[in-house]
Structure 1
Amino acid sequence: MAEGQCPECGRINEVLSRVGDRWSVLIVISLAQYGVLRFNELKRHLGISQRMLSLTLRELERDGLVSRTYHPTIPPKVEYALTPLGESFREPVRALGLWALEHLPVIDAARAEFDAAAEAEKKSA
């Protein structure tokens, strides 16, 4: 194999694009924290649109991270929970969330510095 080639990079990219998007991460965090949740409970917790939540849950279910349980009651009840694979993803997601919380002040400062420099550059042009 030539240097720099990664035969599985395409597949890795597929997985990371799913599990690395913000809604997937926030859904996993919510289900890890609260256990089984109904659709509207997740929607309320996250402040996400119904369409985006539906699409994200469907992809997480397709990837085997989330299970969907339909209860044929009136009205129908649908619950979501982490699968064993989703449970195995809890710790990396938790670490990512803690890293973000810990570094928010530094990130905010870097953004402010960048924005100020961009604004100064724009004014001088």
Structure 2
Amino acid sequence: QIREYLIMARQPVSLDLKVGDNQDTELQDLLEDQGASPETYAAQKSLRQDLEGLLAELTPQQREVLVLRFGLEDGHELSLAKVGQRMNISRERVRQLERQALDHLRRRKASVGGYLAS
């Protein structure tokens, strides 16, 4: 009997399977979807593409500063000092590069304005 249960547990089950006392509920209705909605996913993907395009307009140093400062690749934001250590430049130079990059992006904010409004 245990083997039968183990075999049954390995077999896929349709999300359209009717469950409950009256067989009036589908299994998919009971499962919580913790992922992003298709609309949110599409907006995030589009934002990422636009952001990559904007970052491509920056100098390599400016781009690296923003990526490290704001954790754009790994989600870990670094201080000015830590970025300076990684890039072998002074904390002040990191601050200057960050300011230059952000000024450039602010001038181009029309590209991402739609994302900020929503």
TM interval, short-chain normalised: 0.3 to 0.5
Is the strand fraction higher in 1 or 2? 1
Which structure has more relative contact order (CA 8 Å, sep 6+)? It is 1
Structure of higher CA gyration radius = 2
TM-score (norm 1): 0.31
